[in-house]
Chains A and B, each alone.
Chain A
Amino acid sequence: MESQDRRLPPASSATAANDDEAERELLRRTAERDRDAFRALYVTYHRRLARFLVRMTRQYDVAEEIINDTMWVVWQKAGEFRGAARVSTWIMGIAYRRALKTLRRASLQTRWVSCDAEVELTDHGAAVDGAEHRQLVEQALAQLPLEQRLVLELTFFLGHSCSEIAEIMECPVNTVKTRMFHARRKLRAALPALGGADGG
């Protein structure tokens, strides 16, 4: 269904604006109870939300429930969207708040709860190239505190600006920058280690 859309294009202000324009139109039609438009919006956001929420909750069944709760709100409130933010910022904000609520309720956060804690990742050696690299990056990301991981995800995978991330996560812009700073520093420490663990 979405094979040709699996790889997101590099984010940029221009593509973000184009995407947003198309999504506003889908949202406008959704407000008129156009199910085809809502389905298009759903398919677009299912993939983004699934990845984002699986990173948050680490459980797809939980993520799926949050996806549908989020899109339920989108269906119900599409007509109230005033366009102050991008559509994606609005939807990701809803998803983020719902996910946090779910995590708190289910105590799923456990060791990720102190999200800005200074946890240093272990350096095990040098980096590797090729297909393994992605896996190593994923391992390093998985060790980051929740908020830092999500700032990376919102920036690089979902293509949000710093101020948009602040809006989604309901925090000051400087907090986003600080989380990014710590995340990058930890990645630098961790990735050569993971790559050199087996002498590879």
Chain B
Amino acid sequence: MDRTVEATSGCDSEAARLLPWFATGRLDAEDATRVAAHLAECVTCRDDLEAQRSLHGVLTADDPIEYSPQPSWQKLMTRIDELDRELPVATTVVEPRHGHAPAATYGGRGNATRWLVAALVVQTFGLALLGALHWGRAPTDGEAPAGFRTLASAPTAPASAAAVRVVFAPGTNVEQVAALLRDIDARIVDGPSPAGTYALALAVPAAGEADPVAMAIGRLRADARIVFAEPIR
């Protein structure tokens, strides 16, 4: 008789529920002792154990399908090489929350969404920048129309050169990006790169103020919507 088909005995003891891991040798010592003692008394579970061992043998037998790792490995190396070229400084990417893929990935079905988000962010800030230039070049004697407000309408401190490189988490919307930038008093000055990174410029700090880059990096890394944040050296 095929032992595998006997799987699951009529015994409803706790020991019976642990039999699969007894068969594979993956019980801790206490549980293994308990199951062994039960097996000495229970014929049903002894038969069941043989069924578990038979199933173990079937499932660890050679797989008829062998997948070569080489093509996949090459793809991954290409991805890593591209990121290394872009980010020569040794960095760590935060594992995305909720199972999102890292933003700096190539290929894959999620890319379209990421590029759309990226395009939206760039478009928004491009428009904001145009608005700022317009205001600066053609001042009127009045104020901005009541009730009309753009991102550029808030006074902004002069910005330093690009100082921080970031990758936004997939799904981060324009409002969230804008809030993040306001929070650290930064502007997007470049990006997205092929790996989805943006370069940020920070406001020039007042004399005696703490290092703005370190402060910005700390705040960005603490934010779930930032997958990656590193200083530009």
Q: A156 touching B2 by the CB < 8 A rule?
A: no
Q: B73 touching A184 by the CB < 8 A rule?
A: no
User: Hey, which chain B residues are within 8 Å of A188, CB to CB?
Assistant: 5-8, 51
Select the residue from A1, A16, A137 with max chain B CB neighbours within 10 A.
Answer: A137
User: Hey, which chain A residues are within 8 Å of B77, CB to CB?
Assistant: 35
Q: B59 touching A137 by the CB < 8 A rule?
A: yes
Select the residue from B7, B27, B80, B90 with max chain A CB neighbours within 10 A.
Answer: B7
Interface residues of A toward B: which range? 35 or more
* A143 part of interface (Cβ distance < 8 Å): no
B191 smallest CB distance to A (angstroms): 20
Across the two chains, which residue of chain B brings its CB closest to A152?
B59
Q: B26 touching A156 by the CB < 8 A rule?
A: no
Q: How far is the CA of A65 from the CA of B98 in the complex (A)?
A: 18
Interface of B, helix, strand, loop or mixed by DSSP: loop
Q: A76 touching B102 by the CB < 8 A rule?
A: yes
Q: A42 touching B73 by the CB < 8 A rule?
A: yes
Write the B56-80 contact mask toward A (1 if CB under 8 angstroms, else 0).
1011111111111110110111011
Q: How far is the CA of A39 from the CA of B65 in the complex (A)?
A: 21
* A26 part of interface (Cβ distance < 8 Å): no
Write the B25-39 contact mask toward A (1 if CB under 8 angstroms, else 0).
111100000000000
Select the residue from B4, B6, B109 with max chain A CB neighbours within 10 A.
Answer: B4
Write the B85-116 contact mask toward A (1 if CB under 8 angstroms, else 0).
00000101101001111100101111000000
* B179 part of interface (Cβ distance < 8 Å): no
- The one of B5, B21, B93, B109 in contact with A162, judged by C-beta atoms closer than 8 angstroms, is B21
Q: B25 touching A13 by the CB < 8 A rule?
A: yes
Given A73-B102, A137-B59, answer yes or no on A65-B108 (Cβ-Cβ < 8 Å). Answer: yes
User: Hey, which chain B residues are within 8 Å of A155, CB to CB?
Assistant: 20-21, 24, 26
Given A42-B73, A77-B95, answer yes or no on A184-B8 (Cβ-Cβ < 8 Å). Answer: yes
A-B pairs with the 5 shortest C-beta distances?
A12-B25, A127-B2, A101-B99, A46-B69, A184-B8
What are 26 A-B interface contacts by the 8 Å CB criterion? A11-B26, A13-B25, A13-B27, A33-B90, A35-B77, A42-B73, A43-B69, A68-B72, A72-B102, A73-B95, A73-B102, A80-B92, A100-B99, A127-B4, A133-B4, A155-B24, A161-B21, A162-B27, A164-B26, A180-B20, A184-B7, A185-B7, A185-B8, A187-B7, A191-B2, A192-B5
